[in-house]
Amino acid sequence: MAAENVRVRFAPSPTGYIHIGNARTALFNYLHARGTRGAFILRIEDTDRERSRKKYEETLIEDLTWLGLDWDEGPYIGGAFGPYRQSERIEIYREYLEELLCEDKAYRCYCTPDELEARRKEALAAGASAAYDGRCAKLSAAQRARFEAEGRPFTYRYRLPHEKVVIDDVVRGRVVFDTSLDGDVIIWKSDGLPTFHFAVTVDDALMEISLVLRGEGHLPNAPIQVLLARDLGFLAPGFAHMSQTLAPGGGKISKRRGGMSLREFRESGCLPEALANYIALLGWSPRRSDEVFTIEEAVSLFDVTQLTKASASFDPGKFSFVCRRHMQAADPARLADLAGPFLEKSELEAPDASYLRRVLAIARHRAEKCADFPDLLRPYLAEPVLGEEAMEILREQGALEVLEVFAERLQAAADTGEEALKAAFEETRERTGRKGRGLYMPVRVALTGTVTGAEIVEIVPVLGVERVTARLRAAIEAVAAG
Ligand code: GLU
């Protein structure tokens, strides 16, 4: 396959929010297209009238864009092979249906869903095949006329050839299917719309898709689509069925069940480049030791033939690691925009933009996502609240003395540099006899109200001598009062 001929597509059905499994399909198609100077196409598969929603189409476009993907052809932007929404291509599919009907490769099936279900159960109970028995495949003219006169709704079925279908799958290797026990396939529903198999086969051919890179769940569909393509006079595309993405612990990720949706990651303030990086590692590992990379780097590293056959489950620990690495590298000015809504929700406000950038430059080293910022920034933006845990520490024998001596030393030195802080602690240690936790903890809780989070050496220079000593004195008063 010449590199310039690569055309791949992401073909979501807009029936829910996209989850990381869907996003991975989109991302791998994107990486393959960009890395080969091919075309990446977004196609909306909205022929399921009951379940498709415009809202989901809109949000999936927003979510993919947020993740950092763009595409060369698709709804809204158009392209030479449009339209890119299946609901706008019905006339095209109808032409191909007519073709199959003319060649007697498809027929009307009058069996109702209830009849089909009853027969299926019967067959299963008798230990027989549950495949469609083909009873409408050979109706006489009289039988057909009777059904028509009854006004029975009908579907169209494709006469599935019975043969061995060989698929040389880029991920799974050679897979051979035998269709000899399979029933004829519905390609057109009684609601006047094509089924998934038909629309996908026609679209992949007309849109000149070179490689169908999709989830493993679609592998059993491939032989039907290959045969259908052949009977429509098309060349079948190549296939790459990638392994499943599993939820943490191994369960299935489902967009209808909720959870793991791009929306949720986005709303938690996860950085999109971190999520894209982590998703890329699900079932693929770049040939280099550092697994933290930008999407641009992933483009140059990606090789579709390196996808693993084994399924990959979401690993929260690794995800957190990747997120932290990206957070550390994020520009504080950008973080200020992203953290804004989270701070607002917690009623925290920075005195000015440059102060906010300064504290974010520090706090980003402890954050995984923007939702972490309110807690991390609180010591810089609000006076500490001394809760029970803090008060207990401050009431310890000698704790107040530590605060007094430390405040005095700091004020005398009028310096918040690391050396000055060290010297102030050293002197406090000598004069109070307290050391280690007994020395640092009273100062930390007096400054922040908490036992975790930012370090004293990070906070003090930002707050400055005045605010630090004021907090130390307020803590002394609080203990004295209570
Ligand atoms: N619309 C299908 C889905 O959302 C994808 C079809 C395909 O990739 O061939 O699962």
**Same domain for 446 and 359:** no
CA distances from 196 to 200, 244, 393, 450, 464 (A): 6, 20, 65, 56, 65
Percent of all residues in the chain with a pLDDT value above 70, rounded to a whole number: 98
Asked whether residue 232 carries a pLDDT value surpassing 60, the answer given is yes
Q: Is the CB of 11 under 6 A from ligand 1?
A: yes
Q: Clarify whether residues 205 and 97 are in a common domain.
A: yes
Choose among 233, 193, 156, 215: nearest CA to 48: 193
The protein residue whose alpha carbon is closest to atom 5 in ligand 1 is: 11
| Interval between CA 213 and ligand 1 midpoint (Å) | 10
Provide the pLDDT confidence category of residue 452 given band limits of 50, 70 and 90: confident
The helix or strand, by DSSP H or E, that contains position 125, with its residue range, turns out to be helix 113-125
* Structure confidence at residue 289 (pLDDT): 83
- State both tokens at 312: 């990959």
Q: Would you tell me how many other CB atoms lie within 10 Å of the CB of residue 124?
A: 11
Q: How high is the pLDDT of residue 254?
A: 67
Atom of ligand 1 at shortest distance to CA of 214? 8
The secondary structure of 237-274 as a DSSP string is: PEEEEEPPEE-GGGPBP-TTT-SSBHHHHHHTT--HHH
Q: Distance from the CA of 52 to the center of ligand 1, in angstroms?
A: 13
* Mean pLDDT, range 407-417, rounded to an integer: 93
Pick from 260, 288, 313: which residue ends a domain? 313
In a domain, 348, yes or no: yes
Q: How far apart are CA 314 and CA 378, in angstroms?
A: 31
The pLDDT score that the predictor gives to residue 454 is 82
Amino acid, single-letter form, for residue 217: G
Q: Are residues 96 and 219 in the same domain?
A: yes
Mean pLDDT of the chain: 94
Q: What average pLDDT score do residues 25-35 get? A: 98
Same domain, 268 and 288: yes
Instruction: Say if ligand 1 is within 6 A of residue 73 CB.
Output: no
Query: What b-and-e string marks burial along 380-397, b requiring 16 or more CB atoms within 10 Å of the CB?
Result: bbeebebeeebeebbeee
Q: How many domains does the chain contain in total? A: 4
Closest atom of ligand 1 relative to the 22 alpha carbon = 4
Q: Show Cβ contacts of residue 163 under 8 Å, excluding neighbours closer than 6 positions.
A: 178, 179, 180, 227
| Residue 45 CB–ligand 1 contact under 6 Å | yes
Q: Do strands 211-215 and 238-242 pair parallel, antiparallel, or not at all (unpaired)?
A: parallel
182-217: per-residue pLDDT in tens?
999 999 999 999 999 999 999 999 999 999 999 999
DSSP 290: -
Contact 165, 227 (CB under 8 A): yes
Q: 12 C-alpha to center of ligand 1: Å? A: 6
Residues 356 and 408 grouped into a single domain: no
Give the residue whose CA is nearest to atom 6 of ligand 1. Answer: 11
pLDDT band for position 285 (cuts 50, 70, 90)? confident
**Are residues 234 and 267 part of one domain?**
no
Confidence band of 3 (pLDDT split at 50, 70, 90): very low
| Dist. CA 376–CA 363, nearest whole Å | 6
Tell me what the mean pLDDT of segment 288-313 comes to. 93
Residues 208 and 182 in one domain: yes
424 and 464 together in one domain: yes
Q: Is the CB of 237 under 6 A from ligand 1?
A: no
Examine the domain organization and report whether 96 and 224 are in the same domain: yes
Is residue 155 within a helix (H) or strand (E), and if so which, with residue range? strand 155-158
Pocket test for ligand 1, best of 13, 207, 216 (most atoms within 8 A of CB): 13
Q: Measure the CA–CA gap between 237 and 23, rounded to whole angstroms.
A: 22
Q: Is the CB of 241 under 6 A from ligand 1?
A: no
pLDDT confidence of residue 307: 95
Measured at the CA of 111, the angle between CA 109 and CA 116, to 5 degrees, comes to 125
Q: Is residue 308 part of a domain?
A: yes
pLDDT at 1: 44
% of the chain at pLDDT higher than 90: 91
Q: Specify the residue with its C-alpha closest to ligand 1, atom 7.
A: 11
| Residue 362 scores a pLDDT above 50 | yes
Last residue of one domain, picked from the residues 258, 282, 313: 313
Q: Average pLDDT, stretch 23-51?
A: 96
Instruction: Answer yes or no: do 201 and 341 share one domain.
Output: no
Note whether 367 and 482 are same-domain residues. no
Out of 12-21, 22-31, 244-253, 310-319, pick the least confident: 244-253
Categorize the per-residue pLDDT at 2 as very low, low, confident or very high, splitting at 50, 70 and 90.
Answer: very low
- Are residues 251 and 238 located together in one domain of the fold? no
Whether 456 and 443 have beta carbons less than 8 Å apart is answered as: yes
13 pLDDT higher than 90: yes
Q: How far is the CA of 13 from the centre of ligand 1 (A)?
A: 7
What is the structure's pLDDT at 247?
A: 84
Terminal Cα distance for the chain, rounded: 78
255 — pLDDT class (breaks 50, 70, 90): low
Active site residues: 255
Q: Global pTM? A: 0.92
Mean pLDDT, rounded, for 362-382: 96
| Ligand 1 atom with least separation from CA of 15 | 4
CA distances from 394 to 255, 385, 387, 389, 452 (A): 49, 13, 11, 9, 15
| Residue 130 maps to a domain | yes
Residue 419's domain comprises: 383-482
